Amino acid sequence: MRTSTSQSQSQSQSPNPRAWAAWPALLYAALPLAAFVYLYGLGCTEIPANGDEFVYLHIARQTALSGHWLPLRSELPGMQDTKPPLLFWQAMAAGSGQWTLGALRLPSVLYTLVSAALAAVMAYRLSGRGERGAWAALFYLGCFATYRYGRPLLTDPPETTWLLVPLTAVVLSRGRLFESRVVAPLAVGLCLGLANLYKSFALALPAGLALVGWLWVYRRHGAASAGDRRWARAWPADAAWIALALGTGVAVFGLWFAVDPDPGRVWREFVVGENAGKFHSGGGYVAGLLVGGSSVFSLALATIANGGLLAPLLVALVVDAWRRRRSLSQGERFLWVWVIALFLAFSLPAQRSGRYLLPAMPALAVLAALAWDRLGVIAVRASAVLLLLTGTALVLLGAAAARELSPLLVLEPTFWVGGVVCLGLAFGALVNRRLGWLLPLSSLASLLMLGAFARSYDAPPGAYSPAARLAVAHQEVYVPGAFVSSEEAYRFLLPEAIVRRYESNDGLSPDALAARYAWFAVRLPADEPLRCGSCRVLGERLVMHGRQTGSLPAALRAGRLVGELVSREYLIESQVVR
C-alpha cells in the first residue's frame, strides 16, 4: 500500500512524459523549424556572437589573401596563431565562392545541427522512443549558449561535434567499442585530432579523463563485468587503448608543426602564449580556484547557465542524478562521465569559463530527455516563468523600439510570430504540467525573436545603400571600434572600401573626426540629430548597442528606449580633409 501511494505521489509531481507521446508529430515537425531558427538571419552583423569571431574572420581573410594555406597571416601583432589552422581553412573553403558572413558561418550551423542529431540518436537508442530523441535535439538547440556560440565562426561548433562522435560511439555500442584494440582507438584518436586542430591539443586532457571513466563504467557495469575481464585484469590492455587513442589525437595535431613554415612561432604564440598563459593568475592560483568570477563554483554555475531559459531543468537533472547515483543505467553513466571529465579538466586553468563546457551540452540534453519524468513540476514551472518574463520583455522592447524609431525600424513579422509562440507555449507549460515538454519549443521561439530583431536592421536604413558603398569604394574609411579587429564587420558592410579603425572610446565629435579623416563612420544616439558643418552624409544605418551603459529599466519608464538600445550610424565624407 505504501509503495502504491508513493508511486502515485511521484507521478503527481512529475511532468507526465506520456503527454508528449500523444503528440510525437509535433516534436518531429519542430526539428526542421529549429534548423530554420539557426539559419535565419545568419548573415547579419548584429547576431548574438562573441568578439573572438572578428579576430578569426581577420586571420582567415588575411590568410586567404596570401594565396597560401600556411603560415596563418594577420595584421594583429602576436595573433597569427591564436588558434590551430582548421577553423581558418574551413572559412577559406566556405568563403571561396563568396566572402559573406552567411557563407562563412554556414559550416558552424551545420556542425551544430550534426551535434543535435547525435544527441537525438543517443536519446533514441537509450530510451527506445523517437520522441525522446527529438526532444533531446530540441533541448540542445533551445539553449541560448548553443545559439550564441553555435552559429558564428568560432571553434565551439566543430569542437563539440568531433568530441561528441566518440561519446556517441561508446553509447551506441554499450562500451563494446573498447574490445577493438586497433581500429576503434585509431578512429577515436582521429576524431580527437580533428577537435585538436580546431581548438587545442589541451583537449587530450578531458578526452583522457573521459576514456578512463568510460572504461571503468564498462568494466564495472557493462556486459564484460560478468566475465573475468574486470578492471583489475584488463587495465594493461585498456591503458594501451587509451594511449593509442590519445597518441593518435596528439599526432594529428602535431601535423601543424610539421607543415607550418614557422613552427617556432606556433610554439611561442599558441603553445606558450595561448595555452600555458591560461594557467597564470594575477591574484594567486589557489585564491582564484575558490573565490571570484573564475572559481570552480562559478564554473559550475556557468555550466547550468549554458542552458539559458531551460536552466531550471538542468538543476533538477543534477539533483535527480545525485539521488539516483547508485542506480544510474550504463548509458547514463557514460554521459555523466563526459560531463564530469570536461568540468574537471577545465577547472585546472586559471581562466575558467562556461563556454569551455559547451561540449557537455548535448550529453546534458540527452540526460534531460531520459530523466524527463523525474525532473518535477517545480523545475518545469520555473523554466516556464523565465520564458514568460523573457518573452514579454522582448515583445515590450521590440514594440518600444519600433514605436520610437518608426518609420526607420520595422520589425519583421517573424518577430511577432515568435513572441506569440514563445508566450503561448510557456503559458501552457505553466498552467498544465503535462505540457511542460513544450518548453524547448518555447525557448526556440524566443531565439527566433532575437534573430528577427537582428534581421530588422537589414531593412531601411539597414545596411548601407549601393550608392553609399560606391562612394567610398577603394577609399580609406575609418570606423568606430573598441575591441581588437572589431572593424572586420565593416568589410561586409563596405566590401570595396579600405577599412581602418579608430577608438570609439575617445569620444571624438563628428567635427573632430571630419578634421582627421576624409571618410569615416560615426555613431550617435538614435534620437540625437547629427550636428556637423563639415560633414556630407553618404548613408546611415541603425545598430544595436553591444553593451548597455545606462539604466535600461529607467529608460523604459521614461519612454526613451532608443538612446539605451539603438544608435544611428552615419557614413560621412569630410568637407575639410581631402
In a domain, 140, yes or no: yes
Is the pLDDT confidence value at 557 over 60? no
Whether 281 is covered by a domain: the verdict is no
pLDDT digits (tens, 9 = 90+) for 558-572: 556 666 677 888 999
Residue 218 lies in a domain: yes
Q: Which of 435, 458, 481 is the last residue of a domain?
A: 458
Q: Is the pLDDT of residue 493 over 80?
A: yes
What pLDDT was estimated at residue 406?
Answer: 72
446 located within any domain: yes
Secondary structure, 3-state, 527-576: CCCCCCCCEEEEEEEEEECCCCCCCHHHHHHCCCCHHHHEEEEEEEEECC
Measured CA to CA, the distance from residue 61 to residue 67 in angstroms comes to 10
User: pLDDT at residue 2 above 80?
Assistant: no
Mean per-residue pLDDT, 165-183: 94
Q: What distance in Å separates the CA atoms of residue 289 and residue 79, rounded to the nearest whole number?
A: 28
Q: Which residue has the higher pLDDT, 65 or 285?
A: 65
Confidence tier at 351 by pLDDT (50, 70, 90): confident
Residues 231 and 330 in one domain: yes
User: Is 223 in the same domain as 359?
Assistant: yes
536 vs 519: CA distance, rounded Å:
10
| pLDDT at 164 exceeding the cut of 50 | yes
Q: Are residues 73 and 161 in the same domain?
A: yes
- Tell me the DSSP string of 264-323: HHHIIIIIIIIIGGGG--TT-HHHHHHSSTTSHHHHHHHHHHTTGGGHHHHHHHHHHHHH
In a domain, residue 33? The reply is: no
Residues 212 and 353 in one domain: yes
CA-wise closest residue to 562 among 451, 410, 400: 400
Q: Are residues 250 and 315 in the same domain?
A: yes
Where among 330, 348, 374 does a domain terminate?
374
Flag whether pLDDT at 87 surpasses 70.
yes
Q: Are 503 and 557 in the same domain?
A: yes
The pLDDT of residue 562: 61
Query: Phi first, then psi: what are they for 538, rounded to 5°?
Result: -95, -30
Contact indicator for 282, 337 with CB cutoff of 8 Å: no
Q: Do 309 and 167 share a structural domain?
A: yes
Give domain status of residue 434, yes or no.
yes
| Domain extent for 314 | 41-258+302-374
pTM as predicted: 0.91
SS3 per-residue string spanning 202-225: HHHHHHHHHHHHHHHHHHHHCHHH
Q: Same domain, yes or no, for 77 and 160?
A: yes
Name the average pLDDT for the chain: 86
Q: Could you tell me if residue 470 is inside a domain?
A: yes
Q: Final residue of a domain: which of 374, 401, 426?
A: 374
Considering the domain architecture, whether residues 358 and 388 belong to the same structural domain is answered as no
Are residues 146 and 77 both part of a single domain?
A: yes
Same domain for 382 and 362, yes or no, is no
Alpha carbon 205 to its chain centroid, in Å, reads: 22
**Residue whose C-alpha cell is 596528439:** 250
Residue 231 lies in a domain: yes
pLDDT at 134 over 60: yes
- Domain count along the chain: 3
